[in-house]
Amino acid sequence: MSSIFLVTCFWTLVADAVGQSLSTRPDIIGFPMSKALSEFHDQIPPFPQELAMKIIEEELGSPVETFFRHISEEAIAAASFFK
């Protein structure tokens, strides 16, 4: 995986997270901009599962099956590290 790809993914996520956060503050950015940015809440593409599994395995140093009995292939929730 190239570093350019990782940097692009990082900045895309940062931009989305900033947009999501600012959308909750119409007192700062105004209602029209807040409403426009609120669309980021539903339009962030899912993170590729294969990449997520690879990262988890690299971080843990073993296959995920060593630590977990089951990991669903279907995402059930999303989280933001920036809030």
DSSP string, the chain: --HHHHHHHHHHHHHHHHHHHHHT-HHHH-HHHHHHHGGGGT-PPPPPHHHHHHHHHHHHTS-GGGT-S---SS------TT-
Would you say residue 19 has pLDDT above 80?
no
Q: Is residue 31 part of a domain?
A: yes
Q: Is residue 77 part of a domain?
A: no
Q: Is residue 82 part of a domain?
A: no
Position 61 confidence tier, pLDDT thresholds 50, 70, 90: very high
Q: Is residue 39 part of a domain?
A: yes
Highest mean pLDDT among 15-24, 35-44, 49-58: 49-58
Q: Is residue 36 part of a domain?
A: yes
Q: Is residue 79 part of a domain?
A: no
Q: Which domain holds residue 37?
A: 3-66
Q: Are 29 and 49 in contact (CB under 8 A)?
A: no
What is the spatial distance between Cα 64 and Cα 34, in angstroms, rounded to a whole number?
Answer: 40
| Average pLDDT across the chain, whole number | 77
| Tally of domains within the chain | 1
Q: Is residue 37 part of a domain?
A: yes
